[in-house]
Structures are given as C-alpha cells and as structure tokens.
Chains A and B, each alone.
Chain A
Amino acid sequence: MVSAYKKQAVGASYGLSDWLMQRLTAVVLALYTPVIVACLLMHRPGTFHEWQGMFSSQLLRLATVLFFGALIWHAWIGIRDIVMDYLKPASVRMTALFLIGFFLIACFAWSVAILWGR
C-alpha cells in the first residue's frame, strides 16, 4: 500500500518552558492548599454570608485567583500532553485543544467573577 508522503518535522520550542511551568504551577498549588485549609478551619463558613466574609480579605482573594490561574495553566499543559499522545489527526487535535483552551479560560473568568462579584 502506498500512502501519501508526509515529511515529519519536530522542533516546536515550548517543550522545556511548558515542563518547567508545570512544575512551578504545582508549587503554587502545593503552597495554597494548606493556606486555604487553615482558613476554612479558622472561619468554618456555613452560610453564603460567612463564605463572603471569609473572602472579603483582598489577600485571600489574590491568593485564590493566583491559585486558579496556576491550576488552569497546570491543567492546560497536562491535558495537552494527553491530547498529544492520544489524538493523532491534526484537525481533531486542533479542535480538541481549542475547545479545551476555551473551556479553561472560561473557568478562569468565572473564578474571577465569583471572587470579585457581589
């Protein structure tokens, strides 16, 4: 069987930066987790107003938005790794990456809206 000749090229340069970024964002996630657990244990929020009260601190809001940013970046690299391994046709891969990227950005926007919304 003769298949169409397609020359294979590799060399996109984001391998190292993505690998490094995945580790740096993991550190942010690891640092935030004990902080939020401590906050929850101290405030023990039960109602909406208690939750709102806990997040009235600008510092906690900033830490939380940093956490969500790191989480989404971390997830993007991880999910793209899976897509690169398992989805072979370029068109399918592009579509999947676009949808996943859009979803993750929307999640981040939503987290900002929740943190600074009323």
Chain B
Amino acid sequence: MKFRIERFNPDTDAKPYFKEYDVDLKPADRMLLDALVRIKMMDDTLSLRRSCREGICGSDAMNINGKNGLACITKIVDLKEPVVLRALPGLPIIRDLIVDMTHFFAQYHSIKPYLINDEPPPERERLQSPHERAELDGLYECILCACCSTSCPSFWWNPDKFVGPAGLLNAYRFIADSRDQAANARLDDLKDPYRLFRCHSIMNCVDVCPKGLNPTSAIGKIKDMMVRRAV
C-alpha cells in the first residue's frame, strides 16, 4: 500500500516535505495505525504519537487524506491510495506528525474544566437525577484529540482568542452539569466577540469528530442559554 507522509525535522529541514512509502501489509493490519507501525519498522526516523491504539487516548490524531481523524480507528480498507498523512493543520509542527498542542490545551484550561461548587461535599457523592446525568451525554466523551479544533477555520485564524470547538464542548459540559454552580460566571467568560462568537457554524468539527460528538450543537446550547439569560 502506498503512503505519502509529511515529514519535518526542525533541526535539519527548512520546511515540511512529503516522503513516499510502499508498505507490504499483513492480514492482521486493519487500522491505519497498524500500517504506521509497520512504516516505522522500515524507517524509524518517522515520528508520531500513539498510545492506547483504540480511540481513547486521542494521541494519534492526524490529517488523513485531507480529513482529521485518529489513525488507530481509521480502517485501512476505507482509505484511497496513496494515503496522504499530514500533521494536524493549524498547530506548529514539532516533528513529522507531532504537533505542539500548547495553544489547544491553553484554551481548554481557560474554560475551567472542572466542577465549581462551594458547598461542602456530602459524605458520599453529589447526586444527580438520571435526567440531569443524561444532559452530559455527548459531552463527557470528548478525548481532547484536537481533531475538531484543528479543522476549524475560526481556530486557525484566532487560536489565541477563540476557545475552539473542543474547549467549548467542554465548557458546555460544565455549564450543563447540575452539580456545577458557576454557570453564570462561565457564560460571562464566553460572551465576548472572540471566545465563543468566532464560531460561524462551519461544522467541520462535527464532520471530523472521531467520537461522533457535536460541538456545534453544544455551542448552540451555550448561545441559547446566553439569550435566555439576556432577554
């Protein structure tokens, strides 16, 4: 199987270039990550992140034939040859397929991704009704792989000011949580023209999310809460 992989070593290369690989796949190689591991056996200078190899850790996010996704849960049979692999767009490349996620995580941390509740915790746990718990479905599953944010043009143009789809999905995860008491402060934090409102509902985030989540819908719910609060 033929691959074209973006390579970049900041110590020796002025800019990224593509290197072609022709790999003999074995019957057990089913996912793109299996093929990448095989390529790495041929050429151990190829650098990429991977860990759980089952779509939970979010390490091996990359641009696969023009669309962001996780190599470990992308089936080889579904890919058109040559398979073109690039680093996630919009973030600085550290080396080959490894990007610098500093901006991405800075935005994630800016939404205070933890429960804020000043009441003393009860002896066992803060209880939720099944209905309250159900509100978090489609939100808590985010693995922070950055596929969505790095496919978002608004995040490309303003990575320092726009929180991005992953951060906003997580913002709504805490706004919606019945145990969180800081919904108002969280909404205040997002009402400026950049942090939330750079989202123009392009929906690339929904298109690429390997977990099938819908950040645009979460962003819509945040806007809805803001409007209800304001009028």
| Count of inter-chain pairs, beta carbons less than 8 A | 44
Is B147's CB within 8 Å of the partner chain A?
no
Is A16's CB within 8 Å of the partner chain B?
yes
Quick check: which of A59-67, A80-88, A101-109 contacts chain B, the rest being far away?
A: A80-88
CB pair B193–A84 under 8 Å, yes or no, is yes
**CB < 8 Å: which of A11, A20, A84 contacts B227?**
A20
CB pair B191–A10 under 8 Å, yes or no, is no
Interface centre among B190, B196, B197, B230 (most CB of A within 10 A): B197
A17 nearest CB neighbor, chain B only: B230
CB pair A85–B197 under 8 Å, yes or no, is no
With contacts A20-B227, A85-B198 taken as known, whether A15 is within 8 angstroms of B158 at the C-beta atoms is no
Is B132's CB within 8 Å of the partner chain A?
no
**CB < 8 Å: which of B157, B195, B223 contacts A19?**
B223
B110 nearest CB neighbor, chain A only: A10
A13 contacts across to B, CB distance below 8 A: 191-192
CB pair A12–B192 under 8 Å, yes or no, is yes
CB distance from A12 to the nearest CB of B (A): 5
Interface centre among A11, A16, A81 (most CB of B within 10 A): A16
CB distance from B220 to the nearest CB of A (A): 11
Complexed CA–CA distance, A10 and B198 (Å): 12
CB pair A8–B160 under 8 Å, yes or no, is yes
Complexed CA–CA distance, A19 and B194 (Å): 11
CB pair B161–A10 under 8 Å, yes or no, is yes
Number of chain B residues close to chain A: CB under 8 A: 19
CB pair A16–B157 under 8 Å, yes or no, is no
CB pair A16–B154 under 8 Å, yes or no, is no
Complexed CA–CA distance, A19 and B196 (Å): 11
CB distance from B60 to the nearest CB of A (A): 30
A81 nearest CB neighbor, chain B only: B200
CB pair A16–B191 under 8 Å, yes or no, is yes
Contact with B along A73-102 (1 / 0, CB 8 A): 000000001001110000000000000000
Name the interface size band of chain A: 10 to 19
B230 nearest CB neighbor, chain A only: A16
A-B contact pairs, 10 of them (CB 8 A): A12-B193, A15-B190, A15-B193, A15-B196, A15-B197, A16-B227, A16-B230, A17-B230, A18-B197, A85-B154
CB distance from B129 to the nearest CB of A (A): 30
Nearest 4 A-B pairs (CB), nearest first? Answer: A15-B197, A15-B193, A85-B157, A15-B192
CB distance from A75 to the nearest CB of B (A): 15
CB pair A15–B160 under 8 Å, yes or no, is no
CB pair B191–A15 under 8 Å, yes or no, is yes
With contacts A20-B227, A85-B198 taken as known, whether A14 is within 8 angstroms of B160 at the C-beta atoms is no
Is B226's CB within 8 Å of the partner chain A?
yes
B198 contacts across to A, CB distance below 8 A: 84-85
CB pair A18–B160 under 8 Å, yes or no, is no
